[in-house]
């Protein structure tokens, strides 16, 4: 199962960043988003399509439509600069955990 993400997204501080994740029939699967800052471990920022772990700012949100999931970061801050990965969980698959290639978000 293959997932696609744009390699990079650039955004100015205070603006909105949208990162897409495409996959066949992604609407039937659960999608999580991880943030990985340089040299650090990934951290989940959105799980199960659109839920946020407690303590995460509401500037991070997730949605799905058709074959695309989207992570939206509003009021972008310099500290949001990181790689973002979507991950799909498919309980019916022999390979239930698939990660997309990742998107590098640069804050200009």
Partner 1 sequence: QVQLQESGPGLVKPSQTLSLTCTVSGASIREGDYYWSWIRQVPGKGLEWIGYIYNSGSTYYNPSLKSRVVISLDTSKNHFSLNLTSVTAADTAVYFCAREQRDWGIPVFDPWGQGTLVTVSS
Q: Hey, which residues between 56 and 85 contact partner 1 (CB under 8 A)?
A: 85
Q: CA-CA distance, 13 to 91, in Å (whole number)?
A: 38
Q: Which is nearer to partner 1, 40 or 65 (CB)?
A: 40
- For partner 1 (CB under 8 A), the number of binding residues is 24
**Residues in CB range of 108: below 8 A, 6 or more apart:** 10, 11, 12, 13
Query: Residue 102 is encoded by which pair of tokens?
Result: 């990742």
Q: How far is CA 72 from the centre of its chain?
A: 8
Nearest distance from residue 103's CB to partner 1, in Å?
Answer: 10
**Binding mask of the shown chain, residues 15 to 54, with x at each position contacting partner 1 by CB under 8 A:** ---------------x-x-x-----xxxxx--xx--x-x-
Nearest distance from residue 90's CB to partner 1, in Å?
Answer: 10
**Which SS3 state, helix, strand or coil, does residue 90 take?**
coil
Count of Cβ atoms closer than 10 Å to residue 12 Cβ: 10
Antiparallel, parallel or unpaired: β 60-65 and 68-73: antiparallel
Q: Which is nearer to partner 1, 47 or 60 (CB)?
A: 47
Sites of contact with partner 1 (CB under 8 A): 30, 32, 34, 40-44, 47-48, 51, 53, 85, 87, 89, 94-102
């Amino acid at each position: 199962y293959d997932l696609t993400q744009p390699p990079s997204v650039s955004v100015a501080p205070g603006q909105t960043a949208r990162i897409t994740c495409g996959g066949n029939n992604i609407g039937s699967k659960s999608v999580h988003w991880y943030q990985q800052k340089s040299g650090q471990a990934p951290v989940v920022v959105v799980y199960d399509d659109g839920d946020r772990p407690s303590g995460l700012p509401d500037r991070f949100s997730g949605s799905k439509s058709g074959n695309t999931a989207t992570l939206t970061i509003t009021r972008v801050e310099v500290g949001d600069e990181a790689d973002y990965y979507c991950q799909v969980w498919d309980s019916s698959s022999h390979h239930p955990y698939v990660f997309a290639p990742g998107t590098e978000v640069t804050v200009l």
